[in-house]
C-alpha cells in the first residue's frame, strides 16, 4: 500500500486524486509543520525538509515534490489519464506541472514564510517580502492562464495531473481572487476541475467550501 503524508488543505489533495485515478490503495498519515500533534517527526525521518505531500511507495521508495509524484504516477500508470499518451500533449503537460512547482508553489512558500528569505527580518520587512511574493505569484498565474488554454481541460479532453495540481495550488495566497478580476474564464475552469466527479470528493474533504 502507498503511504501519503499530508494534511487537510495541502498539496496532498492533488496526490489523493491521482492515486484514485490510478486505482491504487493508499493510506494518509496526517503530518504538517503547522500541526505539532501530527506525525511530523515521522515524516522528518524520511524527508528532512518535512514537505507535504511525501509519498512512500510499497517498496519503500520515497518521493517528494508534487510535480514529481504526479509525473511518476502518470508514467507508471499510463491508463490513469494523468498524462497523455500523445508525446506533444504530454510535453505541454510536463511543462505545466514544472511551471506550477517552480513559479507558483515556490512563490507561495516565500509568501507564507517571508522570514526564511531575508537576514534579520522584522515585521515590516516580512510584510514587504510577502507583498512582493504575492504580486509575483499572481503574475505567474496570469501567465499560466495565457499559456495553458483549456481544451476543455488543461490536460486536454479529460482532466489529468496538470488540472489537479493547478486546482489545488491556485487556492492559496489570494490567487483565485486575483484571477477573478484578470482571467475569469480560466477561474471557471478551475472550479470545473474541482467539481469533476474524479476530484470532487477529495476537494470536499480538504475544503469545506469552494474557493472564490
Q: Which pLDDT does position 209 carry in this prediction?
A: 59
Sequence-ordered list of residues with C-beta below 8 angstroms from that of 58, at least 6 positions apart, any chain = 1, 2
Report the predicted TM-score, pTM, of the whole model to 2 decimal places.
0.94
**Cβ atoms < 10 Å from Cβ of 75:** 12
Confidence band of 118 (pLDDT split at 50, 70, 90)? confident
Q: Which residue matches cell numbers 488543461?
A: 154
Angle at 71 between CA 68 and CA 74, to 5 degrees: 150
- Rounded (10°) CA dihedral 53, 199, 3, 73: -80
Instruction: Give me the chain's average pLDDT, please.
Output: 95
Domain 2-80, CATH class in plain words: alpha beta
The residues of the chain that CATH labels 3.40.30.10 are 2-80
In 36-161, beta strands by DSSP E: 54-56, 62-64
- pLDDT tens for 21-61 read 999 999 999 999 899 999 999 999 999 999 999 999 999 99
The answer on pLDDT for 210 being more than 60 is no
CATH topology of domain 87-196: Glutathione S-transferase Yfyf (Class Pi); Chain A, domain 2 (1.20.1050)
- pLDDT tens for 76-115 read 999 999 999 999 999 999 999 999 999 999 999 999 999 9
Confidence band of 119 (pLDDT split at 50, 70, 90)? confident
Dist CA 53 CA 51 (whole Å): 6
The pLDDT of 131-138, averaged and rounded, is 97
Dist CA 44 CA 31 (whole Å): 10
* β-pair type (26-30, 2-6): parallel
Query: DSSP label at 79?
Result: G
3-state secondary structure of 4: strand
Q: Which pLDDT does position 6 carry in this prediction?
A: 96
Cell numbers found for residue 164: 489537479
Dist CA 183 CA 200 (whole Å): 23
Q: Which pLDDT does position 211 carry in this prediction?
A: 53
Residue pair 9/190 in contact by the 8 Å Cβ criterion:
no
Confidence band of 121 (pLDDT split at 50, 70, 90)? confident
The pLDDT of 69-79, averaged and rounded, is 98
Cell numbers found for residue 113: 514564510
The residues of the chain that CATH labels 1.20.1050 are 87-196
Amino acid at each position: 500500500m502507498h503511504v501519503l503524508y499530508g494534511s487537510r488543505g495541502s498539496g496532498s489533495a492533488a496526490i489523493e486524486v491521482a492515486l484514485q485515478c490510478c486505482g491504487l490503495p493508499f493510506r494518509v498519515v496526517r503530518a504538517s509543520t503547522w500541526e505539532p500533534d501530527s506525525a511530523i517527526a515521522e515524516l522528518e525521518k524520511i524527508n528532512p525538509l518535512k514537505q507535504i505531500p511525501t509519498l512512500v511507495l510499497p517498496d519503500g521508495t520515497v518521493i517528494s515534490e508534487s510535480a514529481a509524484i504526479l509525473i511518476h504516477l502518470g508514467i507508471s500508470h499510463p491508463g490513469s489519464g494523468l498524462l497523455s499518451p500523445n508525446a506533444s500533449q504530454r510535453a505541454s503537460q510536463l511543462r505545466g506541472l514544472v511551471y506550477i512547482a517552480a513559479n507558483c508553489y515556490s512563490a507561495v512558500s516565500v509568501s507564507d514564510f517571508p522570514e526564511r528569505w531575508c537576514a534579520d527580518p522584522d515585521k515590516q520587512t516580512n510584510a514587504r517580502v510577502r507583498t512582493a511574493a504575492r504580486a509575483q505569484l499572481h503574475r505567474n498565474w496570469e501567465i499560466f492562464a495565457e499559456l495553458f488554454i483549456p481544451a476543455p481541460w488543461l490536460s486536454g479532453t479529460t482532466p489529468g495531473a496538470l488540472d489537479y495540481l493547478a486546482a489545488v495550488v491556485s487556492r492559496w495566497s489570494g490567487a483565485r481572487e486575483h484571477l477573478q478580476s484578470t482571467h475569469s474564464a480560466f477561474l471557471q475552469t478551475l472550479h470545473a476541475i474541482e467539481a469533476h466527479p474524479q476530484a470532487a470528493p477529495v476537494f470536499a474533504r480538504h475544503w469545506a467550501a469552494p474557493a472564490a
